[in-house]
Amino acid sequence: MLAGAVITPTADLSFTATPTPAPIPATQIRMGGRVRVVNANPEGISVRFGAGQGNARMTTLYDGVELTVMEPPAGYTDPYPTIADGFTWWRIRMDDGTVGWMASAWLQPIN
């Protein structure tokens, strides 16, 4: 180094903090929303005529089937969604128009 030489930094040592994005709230099951059947295992999961396992089975659905969540039927007086047999039950409509009830444990919101 030469005596009397001045060293000039060439790197920009300033920094700009990158803002942390706000967390996106988890999508929840809601009336009018779409859901997908998940974790139904090979035997599928039941769609029932009413909320609760004591109601007759309408059909069986398998993973990946998409459904629309419906409002409760006219005159329905129980709280909605309905808690029965340790599950939360939603009234759903299949794409063919069939309406039944499913437990939320096997439904994943998709919008």
Is 6 exposed, middle or buried, given 0-12, 13-18 or 19+ CB atoms closer than 10 A?
exposed
The count of other CB atoms within 10 Å of the CB of residue 55 is 17
Q: Give the pLDDT confidence score for residue 111 in this predicted structure.
A: 78
User: For 46-79, what is each residue's pLDDT tens digit?
Assistant: 999 999 999 999 999 999 999 999 999 999 999 9
In whole angstroms, give the CA distance from residue 8 to residue 50.
Answer: 78
Residue with tokens 């903090």, as numbered in its chain: 17
Answer yes or no: is pLDDT of 20 > 80: no
Q: Under 8 Å CB-to-CB from 72, ≥6 apart: which residues?
A: 78, 80, 82, 91
Tokens of 10: 């060439």
Mean pLDDT of 81-109: 96
Mean pLDDT of 21-41: 82
Q: Does domain 34-109 have CATH number 2.30.30.40?
A: yes
3-state secondary structure of 85: coil
